[in-house]
Amino acid sequence: MRTLIIVAHPELASSGTQQFLRRGAELVAADWQPLSTDFNVATEQVKLRAAERIIWQFPLYWYSAPAILKAWQDQVLTSKFVLHEQGLAGKELGIVVTTDTKASDYQSGAAEQFTLAELLRPYQALANKAGLHWLPPFVINQFRYQTESQQQALLIAYQQYLTLPQPATFTQRQHWFAQQLQQMITNATGERKTQLVLVEQQLAAKQDELEELRWTIEQMRGDD
Amino acid sequence: MRTLIIVAHPELASSGTQQFLRRGAELVAADWQPLSTDFNVATEQVKLRAAERIIWQFPLYWYSAPAILKAWQDQVLTSKFVLHEQGLAGKELGIVVTTDTKASDYQSGAAEQFTLAELLRPYQALANKAGLHWLPPFVINQFRYQTESQQQALLIAYQQYLTLPQPATFTQRQHWFAQQLQQMITNATGERKTQLVLVEQQLAAKQDELEELRWTIEQMRGDD
């Protein structure tokens, strides 16, 4: 999966959230592309053509992306490229959006009145017009209030969002995790390697248990 | 009514639609403010404070305003100004949006999949947050395919959108038109004045007829 992440943040260097996500993106070899105001339209179109999954990643400013992304869209996504040449057709479009607001505020009757699904309609309409397959947006609410373990879980979910079929099934996510663990074991040494192998064995044992339970359920159903 | 029209169009001088609307705005003494990339945040905030009705006027580029308006929003509409000082609270926000697409394309199942009401949600959410009263958007579809008389009717509707309570009642729109006509008669001379007075008499006659019919209906209802 060739994933291109277009990061639109006016103060990227000082954003803890973005720097945190960046490490996650690098671990799964996604193409991390911060947007600046001087881009070359032809170069951008070449990068888009090479990608299979395109991600627009940004903090929500007044209910949409910072102006820097709109300027890029207005200039790079020409009618010729998008409509006549169908330069984006068949690819996937994902949105990674960070907000300082709690999730429950985005609903009718709450502080923000609208859901994020409604607020992101302009991007969905663009995907529709361009023949892009629209992925369920990946929303990060109030990152800085999350505990360290919540943030680690978020990082894994983010890496899966960049690389797995979306929406991913439980089995796909489990398989992905097993692969990542295998790679960590390969790269680890000494005591850390021993620990990771123990984790792997525990997971394998749980997996056996799960399959046994599934088999039992099937047998019971067969008896009916 | 002090109406401030913020016009966001990257090629304003070459837009026939915008030049046409400009004449209409001038006739009702609305404040026509084209956006350029170099604006002063403090000056913009002073203009916003002085306005009673704020209009964002733009062509739809990828389902929202051109980047120039987003840049202005991101910089001028600071948390301090909008949330802490409540600099926009109690004012009205109107959207004048032009599109090259026919109106019927904006619905579920049609080419654009979403209604303009859905696509404009980010602006409505902003209005909600800022304490602005959200007016029904004024949508201009395919201006260049309209006949001259359609365009003239549009211009009157636009002038009413800038100045009348929204949504305006039939009586309010009629009263507005009578006032405009009175002013035209005052400024006219010679044969043109004669013609306009004839129009005024025709309208007055129709008005009498209308009132007579309304009275008849009331009488009939009273008989039940």
Q: DSSP string of B44-111?
A: HHHHHHH-SEEEEEEE-BTTB--HHHHHHHHHHS-HIIIIIS-TTTT-EEEEEEEESS-GGGSSTTST
Of B61, B112, B121, the CB nearest to A119: B121
Torsion of CA B35, B44, B135, B155, to 10 degrees: -40
pLDDT single digits (tens) A93-152: 999 999 999 999 999 999 999 999 999 999 999 999 999 999 999 999 999 999 999 999
* Chain A residue numbers touching B83 (CB-CB < 8 A): none
Amino acid at B174: Q
B122/A73 touch (CB, cutoff 8 Å), yes or no: no
A122/B122 touch (CB, cutoff 8 Å), yes or no: yes
| 3-state secondary structure at position A133 | strand
Torsion of CA A40, A45, A51, A57, to 10 degrees: 60
pLDDT for the residue A169: 87
Phi-psi map region of B62: left, alpha, beta (phi>0 left; psi -120 to 50 alpha):
left
Q: Is residue A46 predicted with pLDDT exceeding 90? A: yes
Of B70, B77, B124, the CB nearest to A70: B70
Task: List beta partners, residue B97.
Answer: B58, B139
pLDDT for the residue A151: 94
* Under 8 Å between Cβ of A151 and A25: no
3-state secondary structure B46-59: HHHHHCCEEEEEEE
| 3-state secondary structure at position A32 | strand
* Under 8 Å between Cβ of B8 and B70: no
Phi-psi map region of A109: left, alpha, beta (phi>0 left; psi -120 to 50 alpha):
left
* Under 8 Å between Cβ of A204 and A175: no
Q: Within a 10 A sphere around the Cβ of B62, how many other Cβ atoms?
A: 18
Amino acid at A29: A
* Chain A residue numbers touching B112 (CB-CB < 8 A): 125, 128-129
CATH number of this structure's domain B3-167: 3.40.50.360
* H or E element, residue A120: none
Q: Is A62 on the interface with B (CB under 8 A)?
A: yes
* Chain B residue numbers touching A67 (CB-CB < 8 A): 67, 70-71, 73-74
Rounded to 5 degrees, φ, ψ at A32 are -90, 110
pLDDT single digits (tens) B58-83: 999 999 999 999 999 999 999 999 99
Length of chain B: 224
pLDDT single digits (tens) A152-187: 999 999 999 999 998 888 888 888 888 888 888 998
* Chain A residue numbers touching B77 (CB-CB < 8 A): 62
Q: At what angle do helices A148-163 and A16-27 cross, to 10 degrees?
A: 50
| 3-state secondary structure at position B119 | helix
Q: Is B78 on the interface with A (CB under 8 A)?
A: no
Q: Within a 10 A sphere around the Cβ of B44, how many other Cβ atoms?
A: 19
* Under 8 Å between Cβ of A137 and A94: yes
Lowest-pLDDT range of A30-44, B73-87, B191-205: B191-205
Q: Is A113 on the interface with B (CB under 8 A)?
A: yes
pLDDT band at B132 (very low <50, low <70, confident <90, very high): very high
Rounded to 5 degrees, φ, ψ at A53 are -125, 130
Nearest alpha-carbon partner for B96 in B147, B11, B161, B152: B161
Amino acid at B87: G
Task: Give the span between the Cα atoms of B119 and B134, in whole angstroms.
Answer: 15
* Under 8 Å between Cβ of B179 and B42: no
pLDDT band at A77 (very low <50, low <70, confident <90, very high): very high
State ipTM.
0.88
Q: Give the angle subtended at the CA of A133 by the CAs of A103 and A23, to the nearest 5°.
A: 60
